[in-house]
Amino acid sequence: MQLPQAQAAVLEAASAREAQSIDELAAATELPPETVTGAAFGLEEAGLVTVSERVEEAVTPTDEGIEYAERGLPELRLYEAASDVGAGDEPVPMGQVIGAADLEGAAVDIALSNYARKGYGTIDGGEITADPAVEPDADPEARTLDSLAEGGAVSGLDGESLEALERRGLVDRSETTVRELTLTEAGVTALMEGVEVAETVGRLTPALLTSGEWRDVEFAEYNVGADAERIEGGRVHILRQTAERVKDVLVGMGFREMEGPHVDADFWINDCLFMPQDHPARTHWDRFALADPTHIEELPADLVEAVERAHREGVGEDGEGYHSPWDEEFARALALRGHTTSLSARYLSGHEIGGLEPPQRFFSVEKVYRNDTLDPTHLLEFFQIEGWVMAEGLSVRDLMGTFEEFYAQFGITDLEFKPHYNPYTEPSFELFGTHPTTGELVEIGNSGIFRPEMLEPLGVDCDVMAWGLALERLLMLMYGFEDIRDIHGTLCDLDLLRNTEVTY
Ligand code: PHE
């Protein structure tokens, strides 16, 4: 019989009397375990071996577990120190015992809570007692931990202690599949009749192609159904993938991309947007101010003057300003931008890429920073999809139509609009979409038509409609997760990030 090389080697190393594990066969054949596994499945298919599988549980002590195995569990150290100073007879002050037990930091709390749980004594009013009936050497958790730290097998260990140790984070449990091979009768027969290594080719090379040899050689068969180790390669984060897709969609709709600083002067972030300097969003509660440097060096003097005038007096004949103080120093203060509308102000002012003639369309997909409280729908930083269209005679229908067109590209066709207020837009609308699993309305953006009080100082004399949409919220509607922390930070849902299929 002819067999591929690895199969021939494994068949020869296998036995009919004794099941052998993949690891044992790998050692015997000097082949990598993956190769042996592949060969095993091939041989099994040919009926030459049987492969049995069982799941083996492994329990390994964590770093903290190893430390306690060496130094003793904190509650045991506490018990011994307490007994040593006579807490078996009468209560002794806690401070004295903690010091003698050489416990510090988190270990103190760990010691106290487990001491109480295990009934080693009482802890009351700053004093501790030790129950003399306790046998510290018999502590089942300590014995189980010691045995594991010495490399002992899991079978035969006390299940309850194992669970307690796992809850305490002192051991990790994992499962591995162990496969064992035994020769079948057909396998024994094949070996007796003699097995030859088949000259099969595992890989098609350029040389085989150019020489024409590929026509005559025998190719090794792949077993695509075999179990293989899962390789978790790196991949682009779904948020980043969607950001790229958003950019593509907007470019497809005729928009150009804006760029600009994450840290900017309040002037560009707020004052240019006709945000009064005493607006609640401008207090230190809401913004991340910069400590060094604290202020921008330069602002365009003509624009500063025009913006100040709009704030003080308003714009147009019936214009009303805020009649409140306006201070250039305040406007020059630097902060992490709370929205990317700072970029829109910069571009509209003509100070980024020169004066712009209508029609124009611009966007950015960039990070913004807000001093919010973290919750399932709020982060301290998120990506905003900023955009604006400059043209003559724009209306709310244009704004809504643009959103319908944009969101439809992401499968979102049930947008809802709600009147809103922004100091810099009139009218203003919040946008909502329906969460695919909870059915709740989720706010996904804010928009409006820029007011003359904003546009006139910037030197723009036609209509501009604009918006800021949350990329993470768009993602929630697309992929159905409910907590924004599933995709950001240390609590993120790795399975979601690995397995979400991104469709274009
Ligand atoms: N700056 C607004 C926000 O962050 C979004 C917006 C931009 C609204 C432009 C209207 C016009 O919520």
Determine whether the shortest distance from the Cβ of 387 to ligand 1 is under 6 A.
no
CATH number of the domain enclosing 15: 1.10.10.10
- Beta bridge partner(s), residue 334: 265
Same domain for 462 and 396, yes or no, is: yes
Is 155 domain-assigned?
A: no
Query: Are both 45 and 189 inside the same structural domain?
Result: yes
Same domain as 7, residue 37: yes
Task: Work out which ligand 1 atom sits closest to the CA atom of 448.
Answer: 10
| Domain count along the chain | 2
Task: Of 279, 278, 282, give the one whose Cα is nearest residue 266.
Answer: 282
Q: Residue 45 CB: number of other CB atoms within 10 A?
A: 14
Secondary structure element (H or E) that encloses residue 445, with its range: strand 441-450
**Residue at 412 is within a domain:** yes
pLDDT digits (tens, 9 = 90+) for 181-232: 999 999 999 999 999 888 778 788 999 999 999 998 888 777 777 767 788 8
473 lines ligand 1 (CB under 6 A): no
- Shared-domain flag, residues 421 and 346: yes
Question: Are 362 and 395 contained in the same domain?
Answer: yes
Q: What is the pLDDT along the chain (504 residues), one digit of tens a residue?
A: 888 889 999 999 999 999 999 999 999 999 999 899 989 999 999 999 999 998 888 889 999 999 999 999 999 999 999 999 998 999 999 888 888 888 888 888 899 999 989 999 998 888 999 999 999 889 999 999 999 988 877 778 888 999 999 999 999 988 888 999 999 999 999 999 999 888 778 788 999 999 999 998 888 777 777 767 788 888 899 999 999 999 999 999 999 999 999 999 999 999 999 999 988 878 767 789 999 999 999 999 999 999 999 999 999 888 889 988 899 999 999 999 999 999 999 999 999 999 999 999 999 999 999 988 888 888 889 999 999 999 999 999 999 999 999 999 999 999 999 999 999 999 999 999 999 999 999 999 999 999 999 999 999 999 999 999 999 999 999 999 999 999 988 888 988 998 888 765
Tell me the pairing of strands 171-183 and 200-201: unpaired
Residues 342 and 215 in one domain: no
Looking at the fold, whether 256 and 391 belong to one and the same domain comes out as: yes
Same-domain pairing of 345 and 398: yes
Residue 426 sits in a domain whose CATH number is 3.30.930.10
Return the DSSP state at 216: T
Domain that holds residue 460: 241-262+338-499
Which residue minimizes the CA distance to atom 9 of ligand 1?
467
Of 447, 486, 443, nearest to 465 (Cα)? 447
Q: Is 468 in the pocket of ligand 1 (CB under 6 A)?
A: yes
Query: For the chain, what percentages of helix, strand and coil (3-state, to nearest 5) are there?
Result: 40, 20, 40
In a domain, 466, yes or no: yes
Atom of ligand 1 nearest to the CA of 468: 5
Among the candidates 219, 253, 276, a domain finishes at 219
Residue 357 CA to ligand 1 center (angstroms) comes to 22
Task: Give tens-digit pLDDT for 399-443.
Answer: 999 999 999 999 999 999 999 999 999 999 999 999 999 999 999
**Among 339, 385, 430, residue to substitute to test ligand 1 (most atoms within 8 Å of Cβ):** 339
Of all protein residues, the one whose alpha carbon is nearest to atom 4 of ligand 1 is 339
Ligand 1 pocket test, pick from 258, 337, 341, 361 with the greatest ligand atom count within 8 Å of Cβ, gives 341
CA dihedral 45, 49, 54, 59 (to 10 degrees): -110
At a CB cut-off of 8 Å and minimum separation 6, what does 66 contact?
149
DSSP 215: G
Beta carbons of 236 and 344 less than 8 angstroms apart: no
Q: In angstroms, rounded to a whole number, what is the distance separating the alpha carbons of residues 172 and 169? A: 7
Strands in 392-495 per DSSP E: 416-422, 425-434, 441-450, 463-470
389 contacts: CB under 8 Å, gap ≥ 6: 359, 360, 361, 398, 402, 464, 465, 466
Same domain, 386 and 453: yes
DSSP 9-53: HHHHH--SSS-EEHHHHHHHHT--HHHHHHHHHHHHHTTSEEEEE
Is the same domain home to 459 and 411?
A: yes
- Indicate the DSSP class of residue 214: G
Q: Are residues 181 and 212 in the same domain?
A: yes
Whole-prediction pTM:
0.66
Same domain, 405 and 362: yes
Is 125 domain-assigned? no
Cα of 344 vs centre of ligand 1, distance in Å, is 10
Asked if residue 188 belongs to a domain, the reply is: yes
Distances (CA, A) of 187 to 294, 306, 459, 468: 80, 92, 88, 69
